[in-house]
Amino acid sequence: MSPALSVAASLSPDIRKDIGIQAIARTEPISHLAATHQVSRKFVYQPGDKAQRSLDETLKRVFRMK
């Protein structure tokens, strides 16, 4: 018998990206995001951290150009 995939493992990249954006936007508590998507809070923080790093890198490049 093969092990069942977790909900987090089955999420598409687009949904992961949306979770990350919602996490850094802080429009609702992380625990609510986790419950909505049926994943752990730890999982929500991971794409949130990735989204924040991407935003920071992009803003650094934008402001260096000016």
Query: What is the predicted pLDDT for the residue at 38?
Result: 94
Report pTM.
Answer: 0.78
Distance CA 43, CA 53 (A): 16
In whole angstroms, how far apart are CA 39 and each of 25, 50, 66? 18, 17, 41
**pLDDT score for 32:** 97
Q: Where do the domains of the chain lie?
A: 17-65
pLDDT at site 3: 53
pLDDT along the chain (66 residues), means of 10: 71 93 94 95 94 93 79
